[in-house]
Amino acid sequence: MFRSENARTSDRTDRTMSLKSFIHPRNKYKDQPNFIELSKLYPEFQQHVSVNLAGKVQFNFNSEESLRVLTQTLLKHDFDLDVNIPPDKLVPALTLRLNYVLWIEDLMNFAKINEVTGIDVGTGAIAIYPLLCSKIYDWKMIGSDIDSAAVTSANENIQRNKLDHLIKVIRVQGKNIFKDVVTEESYAFTMCNPPFFDADDDKKREKRLPPTNAKTGHAVELSVAGGEKSFVRQMLDESLELNGKIKIYTTMLGQKNSLAYSKSELRKRYIDNFTWTEFCQGKTKRWGLAWSLIPKITLDLSKAPAIREKYSHITSSKSKDNSAPLLEVFFPFNDSFREVKDVIIAVKK
């Protein structure tokens, strides 16, 4: 049975609206920016905006160049950040990136960490996370990347915004994730947006469409040997080696099955102090994972702020009888059951 295009469009709209409620409450992009106002202020952006006969604003979200100009415009307008995004590099989905930064702020506040130095693994050509963290919070940041062109571009963006006294970006060989960056005794957090795909799995990657929020970007930004699961395993192993030098480790995950896998890998290493959250933008959902080797009696991440969709299988934001939405935000989130097997154990008892 085929459904009408209107029905499919309605479902997509409902799903987008339901996920919109899970954007971080302090994210300024919960409401779409005023494109007309931006076009009046920024001539370059004006070239990518039009108004149809019905008076509706039109913007081509499928155009790489339009997305690049939009991101540069928003960073300038909302954060006074003047950035250059090279044509062959990934254009960051700004709402998702800001969700991640705001969650890091929540974790820092929850852990009562005042002197903050963070590490951004795979910082990219823009150094988007260090720029936002330093501009908004005055945090010290260290970015790392294996791509020399990306490191050069990132440092140019940092110098252009006069933030080189807070941010340092270095090139690494890629064999180690944290160990080539850590030089001091203590860091507040790490953050990372690892490549989604397995670089060794060329046939499957060719058949797979790019993520809806990663239509742009070079292969090195979208794939890594073993995929993001392998990358997370290495992060977990290195975190055990570094022990207390980093207070809170975090990473973004691009695939839902990577979250369950990562939690299982944490437990295999007897790391039980962790939490997770969800990052939403439009129809796109990503997951954030945080863990710490600090004893839970001192810092219990399971009680830290998090945002999660309660009924992930529901495609509409309302129940069948049009009553109140079935989707809820838990902030902070405190769930005693970390995995399905924990529920089974409790039921057996």
The answer to the question of whether 174 is labelled as a binding residue is no
Is 272 in contact with 266 (CB distance < 8 Å)? yes
Is 236 in contact with 266 (CB distance < 8 Å)? yes
**Which amino acid, residue 317?**
S
d(CA 124, CA 273): 29
The answer to the question of whether 286 is labelled as a binding residue is no
Is 273 in contact with 301 (CB distance < 8 Å)? yes
The answer to the question of whether 145 is labelled as a binding residue is yes
Burial label for 333, CB within 10 Å (0-12, 13-18, 19+), is middle
Q: What share of the chain is helix, strand, coil (3-state, %, to 5)?
A: 40, 15, 45
The residues, any chain, with a CB within 8 Å of residue 343's CB and separated by 6 or more, are: 337
Beta strands in the chain (DSSP E): 49-51, 57-59, 117-121, 140-145, 167-171, 187-192, 197-198, 223-224, 246-253, 274-281, 284-291
CA 313 to chain centre: 22
The answer to the question of whether 233 is labelled as a binding residue is no
d(CA 300, CA 110): 9
User: How many other CB atoms are found less than 10 A from the CB of residue 160?
Assistant: 14
Buried b (16+ CB within 10 A) or exposed e, 185-218: eebbbbbbbbbbbbbeeeeebeeeeebebbbbbb
d(CA 99, CA 327): 19
Q: For residue 275, what is the DSSP state?
A: E
Numbered residues of the known binding site: 97, 122, 145, 193
Numbered residues of the known binding site for S-adenosyl-L-methionine: 97, 122, 145, 193
